[in-house]
Amino acid sequence: MTATTETATKTHPAIVTNPWESAQRQFDAAAELLNMDKSLRAVLREVRRELVVRFPVRMDNGSLKIYEGYRVQHNLTRGPAKGGIRFHPNVSLDEVKALSMWMTWKCALVNIPYGGAKGGVIVDPQELSMRELERLTRRFASEITLLVGPESDIPAPDVNTNAQVMAWIMDTVSMESGYSVPAVVTGKPQEIGGSEGRPAATGRGVTIVALQACKRLKMDPASSTVAIQGFGNVGSISAQLMEQAGFRIAAVSDVYGGIYNPAGIDIAKLLEYREETGKVTGFEGTEPVTNEELLELPVDILVPAALENQLTSENAPRIKAKLVVEGANGPTTPDADAILESRGITVVPDILANAGGVTVSYFEWVQDLQSFFWEESEINARLENIMVKAFNQMCEQADSHSCSLRLGAYLVAVSRVAQATQVRGIYP
């Protein structure tokens, strides 16, 4: 490398709670209640494979930057590993490990035949041109083909990655194979084997479980206000679909800050405004709130749909919502969870609340493998069946053990993976 070489890797800034420790604590609670055998517990509380890659990317000015990325497979017992790829400056190996473990439980909870994986690159994509982003994506895709493939490990979009990024990954793997491999990623554009309904799937799942939770808590959607943190794929579509389902969206935010109007925000108009300005802040008829203030607003339902560690032991005592629906992965720390539970606040856990995305990803992969594509109505109906079934199974466990919905969901998911591990036995 003769050109200027600059390392683009950064260490994670001080985080309140290490997400990997949170993930292991959540697993431990379920393993304890299931009275799980010690050796099985030791297997399931660690990740199976972790790949760390460092790779150069040519910048538009001719210089090279070295990036660090990860692909982690937590578990492959029930099928190929499945999980998104995140581009963010705060990505760390521990974060990716946590996200991969949560994917294992999520897939098991909705009973789709996948294990769990996740990937990430330490990068702020906003600092890259489109061409630089494409080169970074293609090189990262090539680096992780050691693990990735339609039968082994299937990536999807996550924070700061989208259908275009998936198209570049699909193309890279296809060029290296000599033929098209659509089933290697999900969340692709429809032109190359993407599925109807996939872009909206996570938000649709959030809406389905929010409605189920309202029924359980005897809350009326039409008289319930909602605050949503994060206005990306998950947050913005949850806002649209929850509004259509009758909820009043009183606050939303993105990385630049939030907006609040207790009388309700017109989401279609807000989407137009965001399209023009790139932000939600400054939208007519709303007052500004910070991301921290948004979490503590006097609303009925809170949907964290941005990043981990948003509800902590520090702010949990001040949360006013009766119901938290976790659109993001890991937004609530275990300490905050205990506080919310003691205050009678119901939390629909991430592994169910945002499972709509991986469920329709599964449909996309099945369609790609069969080269036979379904109507959106069929996809949405199947998604709803799966989400409602998993919601009810979670509630049955939570009610029979008098525990939180999170623990109820873990009991369903962890026991499915444990049973699959036991029936397969130990190799050799």
List residues binding ligand NAD (CB under 6 A).
157-160, 202, 229-235, 253-255, 291, 305-307, 327-329, 354, 357
Quote the least distance from Cβ 331 to ligand NAD, whole Å: 7
Say how far apart CA 199 and CA 162 lie, in whole Å: 9
Neighbours of 8 (CB within 10 A): 20
Torsion sign across C-alpha atoms 43, 45, 48, 52? negative
Backbone angles phi, psi at 69, to 5 degrees: -140, 170
Say how far apart CA 117 and CA 190 lie, in whole Å: 24
Q: Which of 34, 58, 61 is nearest to 45 (CA)?
A: 34
Quote the least distance from Cβ 87 to ligand NAD, whole Å: 9
Cβ nearer to ligand NAD, comparing 157 with 194: 157
- Cα separations in angstroms, 330 against 254, 265, 276, 312: 17, 27, 31, 11
Both tokens of 202, joined, read: 């996570």
Q: Which of 349, 345, 310, 344 is nearest to 327 (CA)?
A: 349
Residue 82, beta-bridge partner list: 116, 154
Residue 38 annotated to the active site: no
Say how far apart CA 281 and CA 252 lie, in whole Å: 9
- Cα separations in angstroms, 71 against 15, 30, 37, 91, 281: 21, 26, 29, 12, 35
| Nearest residue to the partner ligand NAD, using Cβ | 232
Say how far apart CA 243 and CA 222 lie, in whole Å: 9
- Which helix or strand (DSSP H or E) is residue 54 part of? strand 49-58
Q: Rounded to an integer, what is the distance from CA 9 to the centroid of its chain? A: 23
Residues 6+ apart with CB under 8 A from 127: none
Q: Which of 11, 9, 89 is nearest to 56 (CA)?
A: 9
Neighbours of 262 (CB within 10 A): 14
Which residue among the candidates 106, 118, 188, 322 is catalytic per the annotation? 118
Say how far apart CA 30 and CA 363 lie, in whole Å: 29
**Residues recognised as catalytic:** 118
